[in-house]
């Protein structure tokens, strides 16, 4: 049987299954590729060819079907025989099989996202009452990820998921906001990690959620849970000035730090920090000297950005130490501002002293090992692990001071040191 004949035959089989109310079997025939293969020959009655029709399902769908596979195989095989019995004396049987994994790197694949982590992420959306479909409706949103017209309906009145969802979410509006989280057709909790991660990226797509601040807040929530599993949502590109996100496995701490630096830059609306961040991302492992020098530049850019927002003037001669002193003083992140009555006062003072010393040591490290200075022939540079330490320290600083700035920007002046 050639491919065209098989396709025509299965179209008739699909129509019969629908007419007889076997919707699940009809969905399998319509949704997944099939191929016919001659597997034997019987000399009885003038000669009969034996054919198997293989319907290939992705491994996760095959496994989820479980013991229902045998029932569906019988239903499809019986209708196939009805269609072909007037055309041929050959025998046909339908077999549902798992499709072969074509990913050559499957042995090296990063572990998936655990079910409990997925639950935590979705529970966070529930607690914040987030409309996962954003400015779209549910059918528009899900159609960007799934072929809803090839997915079954849970309402017997309709033939596919698109009509089913439209009826209950738009026409009647009688489903809960979070219905999709537990719908087995999408299987966000038990399906492939990539499906779950694509769903999260779509939630913060600029077409779905054009408010950049709202999207960034959600990305931060997602990453708080995902990083422990070795994944992160990151900005891949910009559409009309708004970030479009993708997912990727985390390979080292340097990548995580750079991702956090980009989040800080977005929160401060400091596009001019983007170049430093891009250099960091490319240099942590390949050019440690450049990464160390860029880490210092990133801290300097952050200080200047926040001081400008606070209307604090910076002289051209101000070095990183001057900028750090002005910023930490203005944000009341100085040891002398901590009251003796504060719990753990001395520990807080030590941390704040170390905060200001961090940038001093970073500047010195850059002078000794970073880019921007000539070296003699005996100079030995640092290793990527040292660059990652410098980058992580720089990001820890900008993360803390920027978050302190944002928390205090809209509030009245607090008692010095009270909320350091």
Cβ within 8 Å of residue 381, ≥6 positions away: 288, 289, 369
Q: Whole-angstrom Cα distance, residue 31 to residue 56? A: 10
Angle at 187 between CA 129 and CA 119, to 5 degrees: 45
Helices 288-309, 274-283: axis angle to 10 degrees equals: 160
Q: What is the pLDDT of residue 88?
A: 79
Q: Which residues contact 31 (CB under 8 A, 6 or more apart)?
A: 150, 151
pLDDT for 263 equals 65
Q: Tokens in use for 219?
A: 């990305």
Query: What is the CB-side half-sphere exposure of residue 240 using CA atoms within 13 A?
Result: 7
What per-residue confidence (pLDDT) applies to 411? 45
Residue 93, helix vs strand vs coil:
strand
Q: What is the pLDDT of residue 119?
A: 94
Tell me, rounded to whole angstroms, the distance of Cα 188 from its chain centroid. Answer: 13
Cβ neighbours of residue 58 closer than 8 Å, sequence gap 6 or more: 98, 99
The pLDDT value recorded for residue 4 is: 80
Q: What is the pLDDT of residue 120?
A: 94
Model confidence over 23-47: pLDDT tens digits?
A: 888 988 988 889 888 888 776 656 6
Residue 253 pLDDT = 45
Q: What is the largest CA-CA distance in the chain?
A: 103
Q: Are 303 and 286 in contact (CB under 8 A)?
A: no
Q: How far is CA 248 from CA 59, 112, 299, 376, in A?
A: 22, 11, 26, 40
| Distance (Å, whole) CA 76 – CA 367 | 74
> Helix, strand or coil for residue 50?
strand
Mark out the alpha helices in 40-134 (DSSP H runs).
59-65, 68-84, 115-127
Q: What are phi and psi of 51, to 5 degrees?
A: -125, 140
pLDDT at 410: 56
C-alpha–C-alpha distance, residues 272 and 253, integer Å? 24
- For 353-388, how does the pLDDT look when each residue is reduced to its tens digit (9 = 90+)? 777 677 777 777 776 665 544 444 444 556 767 777
Q: Please classify residue 166 by burial: count the beta carbons closer than 10 Å to its beta carbon, then call 0-12 exposed, 13-18 middle and 19+ buried.
A: middle
The kind and range of the H/E element at 190 are: none
- Of 378, 382, 227, 222, the C-alpha closest to 289 is 382
**DSSP one-letter string for 24-37:** HHHHHHHHS-EEEE
**pLDDT score of 259:** 60
| Residue numbers in the chain where pLDDT is lower than 50 | 105, 108-110, 252-254, 372-379, 411-420
Structure tokens at 169: 């979410």
- How high is the pLDDT of residue 404? 84
Q: Environment class of residue 93 by beta-carbon count within 10 Å: exposed (0-12), middle (13-18) or buried (19+)?
A: middle
Q: Which domains does the chain have, with CATH numbers?
A: 3-106 (3.30.300), 110-250 (no CATH), 282-409 (no CATH)
Run of H or E residues at 54 = strand 48-57
- The span from the CA of 398 to the CA of 276, in Å, is 13
Q: How many CB atoms lie within 10 A of CB 368?
A: 12
CB neighbours of residue 65 within 10 Å: 16
């Amino acid at each position: 049987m050639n491919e065209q004949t098989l396709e025509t035959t299965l179209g008739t089989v699909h129509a019969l299954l629908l007419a007889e109310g076997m919707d699940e079997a009809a969905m399998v025939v319509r949704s997944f590729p099939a191929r016919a293969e001659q597997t034997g020959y019987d000399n009885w009655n003038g000669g009969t060819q034996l054919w198997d029709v293989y319907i290939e399902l992705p491994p996760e769908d095959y496994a989820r079907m479980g013991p229902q596979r045998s029932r569906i195989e019988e239903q499809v095989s019986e209708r196939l025989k009805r269609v072909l019995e007037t055309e041929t004396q050959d025998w046909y049987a339908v077999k549902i099989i798992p499709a072969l994994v074509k990913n050559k790197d499957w042995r090296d694949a990063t572990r998936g996202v655990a079910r409990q982590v997925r639950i935590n992420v979705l529970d966070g959306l529930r607690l914040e009452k987030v409309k996962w479909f954003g400015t779209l409706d549910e059918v528009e949103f899900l159609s960007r990820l799934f072929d809803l017209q090839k997915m079954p309906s849970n309402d017997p009145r309709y033939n596919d998921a698109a009509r089913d969802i439209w009826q209950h979410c738009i026409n009647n509006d009688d489903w809960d906001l979070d219905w999709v989280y537990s719908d087995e057709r999408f299987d966000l909790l038990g399906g492939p990690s990539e499906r779950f991660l694509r769903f999260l990226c779509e939630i913060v797509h600029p077409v779905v959620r054009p408010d950049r601040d709202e999207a960034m807040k959600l990305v931060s929530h997602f990453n708080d849970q995902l990083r422990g599993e070795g994944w992160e949502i990151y900005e891949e590109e910009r559409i009309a000035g708004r970030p479009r996100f993708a997912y990727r496995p985390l390979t080292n701490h340097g990548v995580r730090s750079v991702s956090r630096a980009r989040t800080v830059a977005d929160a401060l609306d400091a596009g001019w920090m983007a170049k430093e961040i891009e250099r960091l991302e490319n240099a942590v492992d390949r050019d440690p000297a450049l990464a160390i020098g860029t880490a210092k530049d990133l801290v300097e850019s952050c200080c200047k950005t926040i001081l400008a927002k606070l209307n604090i003037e910076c002289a051209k001669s101000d070095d990183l130490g001057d900028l750090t002193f002005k910023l930490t003083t203005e944000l009341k992140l100085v040891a002398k501002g901590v009251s003796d009555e504060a719990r753990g006062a001395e520990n807080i003072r030590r941390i704040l002293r170390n905060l200001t010393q961090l940038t001093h040591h970073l500047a010195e490290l850059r002078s000794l090992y970073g880019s921007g200075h000539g070296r003699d022939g005996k100079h030995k540079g640092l290793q990527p692990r040292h660059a990652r330490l410098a980058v992580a320290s720089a990001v820890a600083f900008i993360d803390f001071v920027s978050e302190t700035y944002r928390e205090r920007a809209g509030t009245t002046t607090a008692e010095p040191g009270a909320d350091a």
